[in-house]
Structure 1
């Protein structure tokens, strides 16, 4: 037939290792867009956090606001001189400082060895004040702390710290006590509230210029993925409260929100941002020195970059799994460049942990999670 054009020949097969990026680009765009936070019933990805804050408008948002305002008063108690003096009576300071000095010398020797082998300078992994907190953590978990599944009623007139030792509800009383003990030895602390049913501590490391996860019940140090990827716990909100304000640190503890995130439905994200800014203003309004306010703002910005970096790593891991050459690589989202230190929950009876769904890890790369993590062996207790 006149004008007939035969169909074009099929494209030649792609050599191994070569792929069409069109489909990958489309999937990546869909991943970035994600569902609309305003209409989706799925867990909200931290990558979709808002840029503008809006005040509460509905009853549910106001309830959430009042709850967070109330929780924000918890770390204020750690500044009570009477309680801090009481806390110091229970801490074997001579022992803590001796262990900290020994570990600090280890980290310095480790850094010197690395500098000698690689050339140039090497910074110790942790500073002396970090070592003080680490020594306190070991003492708390192995000597001071006793886990009780069903704590008895506290004895009238019994000192608060003594009650925490012998009748601690490991998910509530003990972390708060551990936070106060860290404050008593000079640490800057945060009390981290999880909307499901767990709380823990963060301590600021001047050496690393960041907030470090600490769970005294588990003897866990700098292991924020423990709950989601070790215990298999789904979490919605992780809010850190301090005397300087409140911060949503969920991105630090939930790296793959699709796998480990729970629905964030207590208030729109823009309202949560407004509430956290309100708490921050309340806590900082009496800071008069311009240098102190500027220092806190710099810390805020540095932490936000850190939290955003977790989102970038999560996206990179997801994209890696899309690539034909990346199948099976990259581990869980948010794991790029990291080594997980994960294990199942240690505190509480087996039956109690199984009832909470915290008896088995979802994945275990290493039998880690407890100290030491990145350092030498802790002193014998």
Structure 2
């Protein structure tokens, strides 16, 4: 194992490229930083501070080609801006301590389906690591619990608030400005209150932006601020090492430390996204500046985890001097940890050094999950923020396996209530999620109606057309298909339209409105080795036209499978 002291000496050479190369070698060698037991704790603090300065100094030099940061603002203006930044940091650093309240955690625990989440996490753990790549680290139980918590929180617990619906005429109300908070609002941090009015009947409503997770456990609605605030509390209640993350370009989310991965995982409960840190920059199109993570132990500048365009980000960071920021964060953490035991301080210092080194050496390859636009909030709201784009998925094909070849039968079915495919005679489980079995899809999403307790696939909000297809392939066998049975239940409203068809080779047969299609060998193309099932969703009326063509609609508690494919071979 390479000792931390020798690694840091290499990192602090004058050549920045050599420093970054050293980190890359270190990561490939074992992704570990080992502190010799004989090394004093003061040295560790020095290493951490030097690593932070190395990062910011290198980026500042790269950014100086077009604009000197020191000339962005005059000194008085810059100092006023720094005062504002520090006030923001201090207030959030104090606020996150509320997550540690035993009484508040007990209130949260009463609302958590903890036993069910644990059961789902165990099931996920037993299957998910089968698909781990050669260079990937296996997940552990806490990772899988976090996956299930995200799913439950978004789809069953919290609801998004854009604007209220009029209780009298059921039309969307219009925001009319701010209202004064009540004493009760202020008790729960609701200093901002939005006023709404109905343009038809003049009914009025108020929406207090509560900033206390205890109140949010009761209201269970809001925008990203309320979502992340409440979700971070639930993470702490389940014993996860969690941070509240603040993005200065107007978004918040959570980070959870993964023991199995040895790093902090990005967790956005509004989007039900895990470990997709480049999503905001690559999918939403955000121009990032400052991102800070707050926990009971520390506040950390984590901007570099969320960008692959570090030089561009550095040019936009003009609210404070970088050395001032490093010094401010170090002093805040030192004050917070001054009563900690030496072993705890040592652990936090070492973890922060490793995190800083990861910022220098991290891989910026963009994943598919990071290319998607924002899904939370109304389409108009997302478009106004420039945080949406057409989403597409592709690539999966059902290949007939040896067991199916021997039995001369292939069967797969899907339930949107469970969001799970079940494949009979499968040699391995299909990962959870409708996308995992799809060959291609565009502008399709899974929708859960919390009020009607129904779930289905439909177009993404505002999309005029949605497409989805599944592919089944037996070209690697000597089998000949003799029959194909497809159950493809779908529902339409107004003039919504679902056109679906089954194709083998040059033969395509349109599916009936009844949603059941059976083809025999007389219809199927002789010698066909592949079958494609596809659907196009179009039309509809008004603002919710995208919901007027639905696939596989069912109650969210249903155990039925409205999508079913059976192929038989000779």
* Closer/same/farther in 2, CA of residues 105 and 378 from structure 1, 3 Å limit: farther
Which residue of 1 is the match for residue 83 of structure 2? 62
State the TM-score, normalizing by the size of structure 1: 0.70
The corresponding residue for 2:201 is none
Q: Distance in 2 between matches of 1:300 and 1:211?
A: 11
Q: CA separation of 1:99/1:261 partners in 2, compared to 1, >3 Å: closer, same or farther?
A: farther
Q: Partner residue of 1:343? A: 372
Conserved 8 A contact 1:218-1:347: yes
Q: Which has the higher contact order (CA 8 A, sep 6+)?
A: 1
Q: 1:203: Cα distance to partner?
A: 0.3
1:52 maps to: none
1:92 aligns with 2:147: no
Conservation of the 8 A alpha-carbon contact between 1:126 and 1:207: yes
- Within 5 Å, which residues of 2 pair with 1:95-134? 95-110=116-131, 125-134=138-147
In structure 2, the partner of 1:215 is 268
Equivalent pairs, count: 300
Which protein has the larger Cα radius of gyration, Structure 1 or Structure 2?
2
Q: Deviations over 1:161-192 (max 9, x none)?
A: 34441x312x2111110000111111010011
Q: CA deviation at 1:74?
A: 2.5
* 2:155 paired with 1:149: no
Choose from 344, 358, 382 the match for 1:306: 358
Over 6 Å off, 4+ runs: none
Bigger strand share: 2
Match of 1:284 in 2: 337
Give 5+ residue unaligned stretches, structure 2: 1-57, 165-205, 396-418, 421-429, 435-555, 558-570
TM-score, structure 2 normalization: 0.48
What is the CA-CA distance between 1:110 and the residue it aligns to?
Answer: 4.4
- What aligned pairs does 1:1-381 form with structure 2 within 5 A after superposition? 33-36=61-64, 40=68, 58-110=79-131, 125-150=138-163, 152-154=206-208, 160-165=215-220, 167-169=221-223, 171-257=224-310, 263-288=316-341, 290-310=342-362, 334-335=364-365, 341-360=370-389, 376-377=431-432
Unpaired runs of at least 5, structure 1: 1-29, 45-55, 314-333
2:107 & 2:64 partners in 1: Cα distance?
A: 50
Conserved? CA contact 2:59–2:310, under 8 Å? no
| Structure 1 residues 123 and 259, CA gap change in structure 2 (3 angstroms) | closer
Deviation at 1:237, TM superposition (A): 0.2
Root mean square deviation of aligned Cα: 3.6
Q: Per-residue displacement from partner, 1:309-357 (whole Å, max 9, x unpaired)?
A: 13xx5xxxxxxxxxxxxxxxxxxxx328x66632110000000001111
- How far residue 124 of structure 1 moved from its aligned partner, in angstroms, is 5.4
User: Does the CA-based 8 Å contact 2:281-2:306 persist in structure 1?
Assistant: yes
How far the C-alpha of 1:34 sits from its partner, in A, is 2.0
In the alignment, the residues of structure 1 paired with residue 137 and residue 340 of structure 2 have an alpha-carbon distance, to the nearest angstrom, of 33
Question: CA separation in 1, counterparts of 2:239 and 2:65?
Answer: 41
Deviations 1:9-62 (A, max 9, x none): xxxxxxxxxxxxxxxxxxxxx9994233996259x9xxxxxxxxxxx9933222
Alpha-carbon distance change, 155 to 267 in structure 1, aligned in 2, over 3 angstroms = closer
- TM-superposed deviation, 1:217: 0.4
- CA distance, structure 2, for counterparts of residue 306 and residue 355 of structure 1: 34
Q: 1:146 to 1:37 in 2, by over 3 A?
A: farther
